């Protein structure tokens, strides 16, 4: 869900690209689960989540990996960071990063986007889609 939300809402990439990548990459890919899961995240499926649900990756990481065990295992370049800096290393000071051997832009990338700005952009894009449907008469046709 976090990867999907980031791809769709932070980066504004079509859900079908994520679905295709997961389909080609996952060993246990299931067509219905994959497709419907991506549509749910995109807010366009049969049981679509509200389009305005935009997961914050840092908040979710802190909630579901509070001690950083997952990050330390799968992102070893961040393993030596203190827990409070682990999920958002770009917010740590130079001394904290240096002590952990992390150099932003070198040993670990800078953030691709600012999540707060990306969220605003995504919500505006979804609102424009919604406005377009209302003005085109599509909503009236669908309710008949």
Say if domain 2-54+114-142 classifies as CATH 1.10.579.10.
yes
pLDDT digits (tens, 9 = 90+) for 91-122: 999 999 999 999 999 999 999 999 999 999 99
Predicted pLDDT at 140: 36
Rounded to two decimals, the pTM is 0.77
pLDDT (average), residues 71-78: 97
Predicted pLDDT at 130: 67
Cβ within 8 Å of residue 87, ≥6 positions away? 58, 61, 62, 65, 68, 71
Q: Which part of the chain is CATH 1.10.579.10?
A: 2-54+114-142
- Residue 127: both structure tokens together: 């609102």
pLDDT (average), residues 12-24: 94
Distances (CA, A) of 70 to 54, 55, 80: 22, 18, 13
**Mean predicted lDDT score pLDDT of the chain:** 87
């Amino acid at each position: 869900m976090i990867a999907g939300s980031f791809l769709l809402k932070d980066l504004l990439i079509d859900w079908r690209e994520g679905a295709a990548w997961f389909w080609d990459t996952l060993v246990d890919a299931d067509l219905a689960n994959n497709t419907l899961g991506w549509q749910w995240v995109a807010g366009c499926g049969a049981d679509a989540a509200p389009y305005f649900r935009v997961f914050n990756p840092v908040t979710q990481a802190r909630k579901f990996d509070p001690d950083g065990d997952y990050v330390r295992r799968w992102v070893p370049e961040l393993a030596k960071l203190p827990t409070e800096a682990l999920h958002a290393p770009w917010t740590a000071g130079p001394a904290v990063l240096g002590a952990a051997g992390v150099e932003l832009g070198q040993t670990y990338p800078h953030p691709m986007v600012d999540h707060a700005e990306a969220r605003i952009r995504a919500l505006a894009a979804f609102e424009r889609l919604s406005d377009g449907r209302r003005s085109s008469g599509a909503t009236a046709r669908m309710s008949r």
